[in-house]
Amino acid sequence: MSDKPINIGIIGMGTVGGGVTELFATQAQTYAKRIGKPVQVSKVLVLNVAEVPADRKEHIADGVLTDNADDFWSSDFEILIELMGGTGAAYTFVKKALEAGKHIVTANKALLAKHGHELFGLAHKNNVSIAFEASCGGGIPCITALKYGLMANQIGGLYGILNGTCNYILTEMTQKNKTYDVALKEAQEKGFAEADPYLDVSGADTAQKLSILASLAFGVHIEGSQVEHIGVDILDLQDIQFGAELGYDIKLLGTAERKEENGPVSVKTQPCFVHKSDLIANVHGPMNALSVYGHAVGHTMYYGAGAGRYPTASAVVSDALNIASGWYGAAFAQMNLTPDCNDPAELVAKEDIESRYYLRFNALDVPGVIAKVTTILGNKDISIAAVMQHESNPGEFTPIVITTHDAKQGDLDSAITEIEALKEIDGNLVSIRIAEFASDS
């Protein structure tokens, strides 16, 4: 075993940062045995040392914690762990470290979704690597699975629950019939949701993670801004209840599919109905899961905590150890993430994405109204799978639910416009995707 330690610098000391320093301090001997050399945190940069909570300082040696940037950058560390988040200062610091020949470990999905292509190229130019397992699934090793565990496969598609906040809210709405507002408030009280929950509940967080996973799965470049996202904040409890009657649970899914090798990729984040028999329908509370289909292996699924102090710290520290061991450098080079190896993705146009759909509308209970709706759908080449209507009183508005077979999004949008224009229809029509993985059909 070498006596010379691998020095690590950390920027940011939030919840995850505290977990990272604790693991390095308490597991130092174990890690040294595993990789054949000691690893130590030599410098930690924060905005204000005085504001760092005592429990996060507990495992940091004297003289390591600093709020002096010059002191931090003049220290001798080989690996930078970026834990500050965002795309502003984090981008500047990561770029500076790469140009100085330092390896990067980050959990920052927003940074990679926006600047990943550039930063991967800069890492390659300077013969260093970027490890980012914690950016997409917290403690779930989904990136390792995609790039190494499934290397023998052509990836046909993936879909996942990638945001624990949304999954907690939907679990409460589904299992306890809570409204969205009530479930969100409880998620905030329990620490599962931020005071400003927009990034989570809008689907933007999931879209950023999906762009990274889809880029890895299909060997193309997809930016987070290219992934359309619809959030859970638009959901009505009655649709969840109707879905349950039809045998479905609802989940916020990030989905990416490629039907032909080297063909266009479809990517989208939105609430989807999934059949109760599907494994992913049974992922509850703040847990995450990712299902990946490979042409040789078939379906695989990865499940675990997608956020939190220790799950995320587990992935961050594992990345740092893989770099320190010398293993990760060659593996990173084989990811083909650099601009010269990774072309911009050809994406399936939104209007051409095909799926089954759940439709709900309030219709006047008079003869012929369902016939008018089905005629409009038929004229758009949309085939009906089922119709559900509860008993109602003639002359009153009543909710009607229709499920469709596969239909193009553009055809459905056009049909919805015509249906909403009917005098017998009150208000807006609700449409929710019914998720069926490409290989399931």
Supply the residues annotated as catalytic. 209
Is position 85 annotated in a ligand binding site? no
Is position 12 annotated in a ligand binding site? yes
Residue where the block lists tokens 């500050």: 84
Both tokens assigned to 289: 């899961």
The answer to whether residues 318 and 310 touch, using CB atoms and an 8 Å cutoff, is no
Give CA–CA dist 267/67, Å, rounded: 41
Is position 18 annotated in a ligand binding site? yes
The answer to whether residues 321 and 76 touch, using CB atoms and an 8 Å cutoff, is no
Residue where the block lists tokens 């049974």: 282
Give CA–CA dist 240/254, Å, rounded: 19
> If you count them, how many residues does the chain have?
441
Strand, coil or helix: 223 = coil
Is position 11 annotated in a ligand binding site? yes
| Residue burial 73-84, b: 16+ Cβ < 10 Å; e: rest | beeebbbbbbbb
User: Where are the extended beta strands (E) located within 21-154?
Assistant: 39-45, 65-66, 79-82, 103-106, 130-131
Is position 37 annotated in a ligand binding site? no
C-alpha angle 249-201-56 in degrees, rounded to nearest 5: 115
For 215, phi and psi rounded to 5 degrees? -60, -45
Using alpha carbons, select from 172, 180, 152 the residue that is nearest to residue 297.
152
Is position 36 annotated in a ligand binding site? no
Give CA–CA dist 365/343, Å, rounded: 54
Is position 263 annotated in a ligand binding site? no
Is position 149 annotated in a ligand binding site? no
Is position 424 annotated in a ligand binding site? no
- Alpha carbons within 13 angstroms on the beta-carbon side of residue 246 total 28
Residue where the block lists tokens 């009543």: 398
Please, which residues have CB within 8 angstroms of residue 246's CB and are 6 or more apart in sequence? 273, 358, 386, 388, 401, 403
Using alpha carbons, select from 77, 51, 82 the residue that is nearest to residue 64.
77
Is position 280 annotated in a ligand binding site? no
Q: Which residues are annotated as a binding site for NADP(+)?
A: 11-18
Q: Which residues are annotated as a binding site for NADPH?
A: 109
Q: Which residues are annotated as a binding site?
A: 11-18, 109, 194
